[in-house]
Amino acid sequence: MSVPCIRRATPDGNIERSGPVDTITLDDVARLSGVSRSTASRVINDQPGVRPDVRERVQRIADHLGFRPNRAAKNLASGRASVIGLVIPSEELRVDPYGASITHAVGRAATRHDLGLMLHLAEEVPGRTVHHILRDGLIDGLVISSVALGRPWVDELLDSSLPTVLIGRHPRRTDLASVDVENVESSAAATTHLFDQGCERVGTITGPLGRVDARQRLDGYRLAHERAGRSGRVVDESLVVEGDFRRGSAVEAARVLVGRGVDGIVAGNDEMAIGAMWACTALGVSIPGDVAVVGFDGTGSGLDTHGDVTLSSVVQPFDRLADTAVAMLNDIVEGRQVAGAVSIAPDLVVGGSSVRSA
């Protein structure tokens, strides 16, 4: 327990700071409680084997002192950091709301599990990073966004000794612990929803088809057509246009689709749905009257209305995805077994972009 720190502005407008932080250690708690360090430790960590009255006394004193265990010491002694890392491409975080949503959700999930979250931005850089991440001993494990896959050092992490959980899917490997949103059925549901609104000619703007999720969503689009086959709806391949999950690509694509007479568009994600809506609006094509639009992700709905029309979308359950991923990671870290791949169904949230008040 030392002198509290003082901060003040110096006359010349600079700022200085002195003195260490007021620190209460486990020893303080033990001494003031009249027990050993071991017992105090047990109380603090909710471990069994302490007489109830002793436990209560120690706890009260700890609370009163505002004791917080030093994480570095805890980490060193226990070999556990109580911190997890998140690997996500920096590009993703910056240009795509999906990345921000995942980061946000994992951050919240970590907090709920009483874990710190370190951010590891996946740049295109070479390899030393991996070793740093691994050997620093600063984190217990990693949540890796599948969007980060493909970078050599990220793939290297998957084979390292560090526990990892993937959010999303690996293009090839099936041996990884992963959590993913269900893509096929939910995309089919979105397409079917447009049929239900009376759309006869529904096109789709897909994500980059090198990506698993983009392909699966396209599969769902096809599946819905198969199921609606008897009502004369079949896939017109000229209405399947590949985008790149970014807004700009959908502007082009939507123009093409409008030119080919669609009355509905299933976009591979919300960013592209927004691009499509933009293009339609610019062409004087009304939404949802002339063309009904539905997206995927849920990042474009809510606050971010476009014109007066809210976007219909297959909304990813970001919080559940993140919570599941963090829980799985925790299980792996603590040596419990973990189911390999978890899939979580999203909800289709219907907004103004697809509902025709017939």
> Does residue 288 have a cis peptide bond before it, meaning omega lies within 30 degrees of 0?
yes
Measured from the CB atom, is 90 or 343 closer to its own copies?
Answer: 90
Q: Count CB atoms within 10 A of the CB of residue 210.
A: 11
Measured from the CB atom, is 137 or 171 closer to DNA?
Answer: 137
Shortest Cβ distance from residue 17 to DNA (Å)? Answer: 17
Among residues 19, 6, 137, the alpha carbon closest in space to that of 75 is found at: 137
Measured from the CB atom, is 192 or 249 closer to its own copies?
Answer: 249
Integer CA distances (angstroms), 233 to 10, 150, 198, 294, in order: 76, 37, 11, 18
Shortest Cβ distance from residue 334 to DNA (Å)? Answer: 11
Shortest Cβ distance from residue 32 to DNA (Å)? Answer: 12
Q: Which of 3, 19, 22, 23 binds DNA (CB under 7 A)?
A: 23
Residue 346 binding: pick among its own copies, DNA, none (C-beta 5-8 Å cut-off by kind): none
| Residue 78 found at the interface with DNA (CB under 7 A) | yes
Shortest Cβ distance from residue 47 to its own copies (Å)? Answer: 20
Site mask for DNA (CB under 7 A), range 38-57, x = bound:
xx-xx-xx--xxxx--xx--
| Burial group, residue 22, by CB count within 10 angstroms (0-12, 13-18, 19+) | exposed
Q: Which residues contact 157 (CB under 8 A, 6 or more apart)?
A: 87, 130, 133, 134, 142, 144, 164
Q: Which of 4, 60, 64, 77 binds DNA (CB under 7 A)?
A: 77
Residue 107 binding: pick among its own copies, DNA, none (C-beta 5-8 Å cut-off by kind): its own copies
Residue 303 binding: pick among its own copies, DNA, none (C-beta 5-8 Å cut-off by kind): its own copies
Q: Which of 32, 69, 155, 236 binds DNA (CB under 7 A)?
A: 69
What letter does residue 4 receive in the DSSP assignment?
Answer: P
Q: Which residues contact 131 (CB under 8 A, 6 or more apart)?
A: none
Among residues 213, 143, 130, the alpha carbon closest in space to that of 171 is found at: 213
Shortest Cβ distance from residue 281 to its own copies (Å)? Answer: 5
291 phi and psi angles, rounded to 5 deg: -135, 125
Contact 243, 249 (CB under 8 A): yes
Residue 50 binding: pick among its own copies, DNA, none (C-beta 5-8 Å cut-off by kind): DNA
Shortest Cβ distance from residue 221 to its own copies (Å)? Answer: 25
Distance, in Å, from the CA atom of 202 to the CA atom of 192, rounded to the nearest integer, reads 10
Residue 334 binding: pick among DNA, its own copies, none (C-beta 5-8 Å cut-off by kind): none
* Phi and psi based region of residue 155 (left: phi greater than 0; alpha: psi -120 to 50; beta: remaining): alpha
Measured from the CB atom, is 305 or 343 closer to its own copies?
Answer: 305
Vertex 163, ends 157 and 169: CA angle to 5°?
Answer: 65
Residues that bind DNA (CB under 7 A): 23, 25-27, 34-39, 41-42, 44-45, 48-51, 54-55, 67-70, 73-74, 76-80
